[in-house]
Amino acid sequence: MKAGFIGTGSMGSILIEAFIHSGAFNPEQIIAGNRTIRKVELLAQTYPGLQVARSNREVAAESDIIFLCVKPSELKTVIDEIKEDVLPTQFVVSITSPVLIKHLEGLLPAKISKIIPSITNYVLSGATLCIHGNRMQPEDKEWLENLFAYISSPICVSENYTRISSDLSSCGPAFLANFIQSFIDAAVEATGISSEEATLLASEMTLGTGKLLTTGGFNPISLQKRVSVPGGITEEGLHILNEELAGVFARVISATHAKYEEDLEKAEHRFT
């Protein structure tokens, strides 16, 4: 099995490194290309055996599964470049959420899936969102999801819920990190605790909380109830959060969906 990557920017390189670290692929099984070839050369230096492609067509021609890890504005150009080299037996995986399955299937003869990764996949954790095209047979879906199980928890979602699912799984780490950093900054300013110590405490808390919510038998509501004693300190803090954050995430979701609709419209224009 040869895996090809077109695009080795932030998410493309994360996927390559995660697949290698997890043992899903050996470096020798990977061929990668990028507009800035130096980025691929650096990956090849880090992972000897990884093949540096000099063109996108080379990636397409030599791969069993092709990962399209480019910006929405670049995807149509890449597809037009490689479509003559793509075969019905190949898998094509796009990580670009605004480009719909129907757009991809309309231009490429391959088995198509859209997989939305997360930065958490870098540490072999978190979710990957799986949206499969009409040519994907049950055994194809199982194989692809088993591949992503090396680096994540694959979760099948409806394409209609791509944006909100991505908000929670892919944008969520940045939103959560923003909240945590604000908590750290407030702790440093109010008490004089060092930023390093506050960051360590908050980071370990976040790790432990994630475990409680995934394997510890808690959900967000039951965890709050377990930690919060009536009339206690945690309850006082939760009162403030409930007051100050009321409506914040509704506005966040409204903003991300508005941007997504804009991106969908642009993608529709490019592909039709």
Domain annotation covers residue 268: no
SS (H, E, C) 70-100: CCHHHHHHHHHHHCCCCCCCCEEEECCCCCC
CATH number of the domain to which 206 belongs: 1.10.3730.10
Confidence of residue 59 (pLDDT cuts 50, 70, 90): very high
pTM of the model: 0.94
Q: Judge if 97 and 206 occupy the same domain.
A: no
Average confidence (pLDDT) over 232-258: 96
Q: Judge if 220 and 104 occupy the same domain.
A: no
Amino acid occupying residue 244:
E
Confidence of residue 252 (pLDDT cuts 50, 70, 90): very high
Q: Judge if 104 and 120 occupy the same domain.
A: yes
Q: Judge if 10 and 144 occupy the same domain.
A: yes
Q: Judge if 173 and 66 occupy the same domain.
A: no
Q: Tell me what percent of the residues of the chain surpass a pLDDT of 70.
A: 100
> How many whole angstroms separate alpha carbon 170 and alpha carbon 126?
9
Any binding-site annotation on 126? no
Count of the separate structural domains present in the chain: 2
Give the list of residues 6+ apart from residue 72 with CB closer than 8 angstroms, or none: 96, 98, 99, 263, 266, 267
Which pLDDT value is given to residue 171? 97
Checking if the pLDDT of 272 tops 90, the result is no
Which pLDDT value is given to residue 118? 97
Q: Judge if 117 and 234 occupy the same domain.
A: no
Residue numbers of the domain that contains 206? 165-251
Confidence of residue 259 (pLDDT cuts 50, 70, 90): very high
Any binding-site annotation on 208? no
Any binding-site annotation on 9? yes
Give the list of residues 6+ apart from residue 105 with CB closer than 8 angstroms, or none: 112, 133, 134, 135
Any binding-site annotation on 7? yes
8 Å CB contact between 110 and 92: yes
Do strands 111-116 and 127-132 pair parallel, antiparallel, or not at all (unpaired)?
A: antiparallel
Amino acid occupying residue 224:
Q
pLDDT digits (tens, 9 = 90+) for 170-228: 999 999 999 999 999 999 999 999 999 999 999 999 999 999 999 999 999 999 999 99
Q: Judge if 71 and 177 occupy the same domain.
A: no
Confidence of residue 116 (pLDDT cuts 50, 70, 90): very high
Identify which of 227, 122, 124, 118 has the alpha carbon closest to the alpha carbon of residue 176. 118
